[in-house]
A and B are shown apart, each in its own frame.
Chain A
């Protein structure tokens, strides 16, 4: 059976197990009239039986499926003709790719070599055996569990407690997924990044000023060594993020002040959701808008004024990104301003301050830590934003502070590198993980700092 069919069969078996457990418990005490003699509700006995039937089998299925492919491929590779096996690692991986493609039916059998065809048929055969074995194993486990549990059900069995312990562990398991995600990100990205740093020196990556990841495929080609100095990328990211913040912080902050301090409730109820629509628009839409409308418009105005504006200028990307970030700044600032106690405002009014003086000299100062935290979160958002820059900023790694020129960013280069060749071991592909690591660490630092600041601020007034 395929894994999907197996899962379905297991689900049906578990439903059966539920009924078996439930009816067994009822039968033990002589039907519904004796139900008070049971320790737990009949359905608890049913759920317990179903859990025993499904959970161990599920674990086996997942573990099996996760490792089946790797093991079979290893076996198939070992059985390849010696001539193929002695190929260099990257060519061997191409052969293995051919095998996979043939198995998946992506290429017709006539297009590949004899060895690949043999390997593919062996792969299919082994996979058939593996699936058969898995099916038998899972069925035996599931049915065995039903029989075992059914025999152990007694009226005194504390089925509810047992079920609840399992449920609680399941809940704990679910809540640790977030931790495992973080560990997974750090481990996988760092692992690949370390492999990259075996090719390229860490310092020449972090402090080099020339970025051209094009590696020649053969050693004798021109420009065979790419250079991986990421400073132009960092500078480009910083430039675009800076432009975005120049747009977003004043507009967002003033919007928040107006909404929190001045606006009529009626105006607030429709203006606030409308502002949040800006955050709900997918970033790919902003990217299209920047590339289609803003970029050419800026170029046209520039030409009017006699300025040379690149069609993929940092200004266009930063401007549109700033618009995207306005609602982040405004809603966070709004929260923070609203959290400032009314007593502070009343005190200022009592001293004769006007509203704007109260806002500027009392409310904003009191809310400052929170607002700074919000702005830091927005900066982290701007640094990690991908689609707008991928569509509106260029690939040219210029080291410049001129917003009218084209620059590139860390995220753009990640997208660019992943769309290049799919060879997993070249420095070019590994470089994207090194960039990803830098991106992750920088945004993580900003987030931790921002969340800490915001939390401190909240505690101050609660």
Chain B
């Protein structure tokens, strides 16, 4: 019945034959692994490449050099020099006159309107601000760099195809000719975009900035930190140092682990129903956003803090207790200071996660169009990731660049926070 037993030579021959195949399989398997890592990292690099190549332009903006004659007839015909009169004047007319002087051959209302559209609508406000700050300008002629309109900006950065038919372009043939003439004179230049860093949101891409969102993010994160760090550390200390192993602490543990994996949008629903619906707190406020983010980051902080506490050797505790310290004294004087770097690292990572979080904040209405920079924690505001979400929805081509620019700023903040966490860990890491 049994097959004849193979001799050792036969077995070796079979093995030797299969070896080639097996080594090939080995190499293939290894190559799959390397390919997977390379693929993942390629995605990462490509993602960053797309964001940066789209977004670097947001930090520069096109400006037009115009010789502005601060005509008293427009600004202050009565000669009162009162601030209210200076503010009420028609600065748009000033810009129109200056541009017409540059292009004397422009005739008619329609053509003039086309011409003034080269300059952003906010240019009039910047002139107004200058005049109010320094009324002696009136009557003088000064060279000003005015903010160009969105379309001119896009053209300068090469986002508008000149070959398209006129009707499909945001700029007409006539406007193109003017822009080319300006550029030929050197009166058109890309300059550092201060507006982007110092303005709130706007419907016009050239006037939109991220300061409002950054301030909103800052206020929200500050409150989140103030609440989640003490609560998280206290919970971790209780669970790790005081709690007896029983059903109750088991429930708490399971809860914390589960909460860490609950979708963030569900926390937003909680905020909407409880904080806004039940307690009547203001919608869109950093206060409510911080409450939601606190609940969201608590599990992260608690888990990291417990790990840090676990890393402190028991001998330290025993020594403190042996010297007559009470349990609380042991924790506050000895264990906490030793575990603090690990806790701070965990907290910073939790804060970084909170900074990038947007879904729960959409739920509590931090998604409104808000121009003003928030002044307090109950003002309506938005945060950086939500601003990105809002801009990415805008139809104007100019906002693609702004969105990527805002992402670069957000990523920069995240890099700073995570680097701090890594340095902290490296600097204070202790091996016992």
A residues bordering B, Cβ < 8 Å?
66, 69-70, 73, 104, 160, 163-164, 167-168, 170-172, 174-179, 181-182, 184-185, 188-189, 191-192, 250-255, 257-259, 261-262, 271, 274-275, 277-278, 280-289, 291-293, 323, 326-327, 330, 354-357, 359-360, 377, 380-381, 383-387, 390-391, 411, 414-415, 418-419, 424, 432-433, 436, 439-440, 443-444, 447-448, 450-451
Contacts and interface: CB of A to CB of B under 8 A. Distances in A.
B414 A171 contact: no
A384 B264 contact: yes
19 contacts: A66-B279, A171-B237, A174-B232, A175-B252, A179-B251, A188-B274, A251-B36, A254-B33, A258-B36, A278-B40, A280-B414, A281-B411, A285-B47, A289-B47, A289-B50, A355-B30, A385-B263, A387-B359, A415-B359
B389 interface: yes
Contacts of A277: 44
Interface in B192-235: 230-232, 234-235
Interface stretch (B68-76, B113-121, B171-179, B294-302): B294-302
A72 to B, nearest CB: 10
Interface in B308-361: 326-328, 352, 355-359
Contacts of B298: 177-178, 181
Contacts of A261: 33
Contacts of B280: 69-70, 73
Nearest to A284: B385
B400 interface: yes
A383 B43 CA distance: 22
B412 interface: no
A66 B279 CA distance: 6
Interface string B242-255: 11000000011011
B33 A257 contact: yes
Looking at B23, B259, B357, B365, which has the most chain A CB atoms within 10 Å of its CB? B259
Contacts of B32: 254
Contacts of B54: 292
Nearest to A326: B40
Nearest to B276: A424
A386 B50 CA distance: 22
Given A177-B298, A418-B363, A444-B262, A262 B33 contact: yes
B267 interface: yes
A202 to B, nearest CB: 19
Interface in B256-276: 256-259, 261-267, 269-270, 272-274
A167 B328 contact: yes
Main secondary structure of the interface of B (DSSP, over half): helix
Contacts of A386: 263-265, 358-359, 362
Contact of B37 (A174, A192, A259, A384): A259
Interface in B8-67: 22-23, 25-26, 28-30, 32-37, 39-41, 43-44, 47, 50-51, 54
A282 B367 contact: no
A262 B356 contact: no
A274 B359 CA distance: 25
B9 to A, nearest CB: 17
Q: Nearest 6 A-B pairs (CB), nearest first?
A: A384-B263, A258-B33, A282-B356, A254-B36, A188-B273, A356-B29
Contacts of B386: 284
B307 interface: no
Nearest to B23: A354
A247 to B, nearest CB: 10
B261 A377 contact: yes
Contact of B238 (A66, A69, A175): A175
A66 B47 CA distance: 45
A414 B269 contact: yes
A447 B266 contact: no
Given A179-B255, A415-B362, A292 B326 contact: no
B265 A178 contact: no
A183 B410 CA distance: 33
Nearest to A415: B362
A356 B257 contact: no
Q: In this complex, which of A179, A188, A252, A288 has the most chain B Cβ atoms within 10 angstroms of its Cβ?
A: A288
B403 interface: yes
B266 A354 contact: no
B236 to A, nearest CB: 8
B259 A436 contact: no
A178 B37 contact: no
A171 B265 contact: no
A384 B266 contact: yes
B24 to A, nearest CB: 10
B362 A419 contact: yes
Contacts of B418: 280
A285 B52 CA distance: 12
Given A69-B280, A250-B36, A443-B263, 17 more contacts: A174-B234, A175-B234, A178-B235, A188-B274, A259-B33, A262-B33, A271-B41, A282-B414, A284-B389, A284-B407, A288-B403, A292-B50, A292-B392, A386-B359, A439-B265, A447-B262, A448-B258
